[in-house]
Amino acid sequence: AQRVTQPEKLLSVFKGAPVELKCNYSYSGSPELFWYVQYSRQRLQLLLRHISRESIKGFTADLNKGETSFHLKKPFAQEEDSAMYYCALSVQGGSEKLVFGKGTKLTVNP
Amino acid sequence: NAGVTQTPKFRVLKTGQSMTLLCAQDMNHEYMYWYRQDPGMGLRLIHYSVGEGTTAKGEVPDGYNVSRLKKQNFLLGLESAAPSQTSVYFCASGLTSGGGNEQFFGPGTRLTVL
8 Å CB contact between A46 and A54: no
C-alpha to C-alpha distances, B104 to A6, A46, A93, B17, nearest whole angstrom:
22, 8, 20, 30
Confidence bin at A95 (pLDDT 50/70/90): low
Look at residue B100 in the predicted model and tell me its pLDDT. Answer: 60
Q: Residue A11 belongs to a domain with what CATH number?
A: 2.60.40.10
CA A16 to chain centre: 19
Cα B48 from chain centroid (whole Å): 8
Q: Looking at the complex, does the CB of residue A84 fall below 8 Å from at least one CB of chain B?
A: no
The pLDDT of residue A17 is 97
What are the chain B neighbours of A45 within 8 Å (beta carbons)? 105
Domains identified in chain B, total number: 1
pLDDT digits (tens, 9 = 90+) for A3-56: 999 999 999 999 999 999 999 999 988 888 999 999 998 899 999 888 777 778
Q: Does A96 touch chain B (CB under 8 A)?
A: yes
Task: List the one residue out of A58, A23, A47 whose CA is nearest residue B105.
Answer: A47
CATH of the domain at B73: 2.60.40.10
The DSSP call for residue A68 is T
Distance from CA of A106 to the nearest CA of B (A): 14
Name which residue leads in pLDDT, A81 or B101: A81
For residues A38 and B105, give the distance between their C-alpha atoms in angstroms, rounded to a whole number: 10
Q: Find out whether A83 and A33 touch, Cβ atoms under 8 Å.
A: no
- Examine the pLDDT at A70 and tell me if it is beyond 80: yes
Domain housing A19: 3-109
Residue B102: its pLDDT value, please? Answer: 82
B82 touching A (Cβ < 8 Å): no
Which residue range forms the structural domain that includes residue B54?
Answer: 4-113
pLDDT of chain B, 114 residues: tens digit per residue? 779 999 999 999 999 999 999 999 999 998 999 999 998 888 999 999 988 999 999 999 999 999 999 999 999 999 999 999 999 999 999 876 544 678 899 999 999 999
Cα B22 from Cα B67, distance rounded (Å): 10
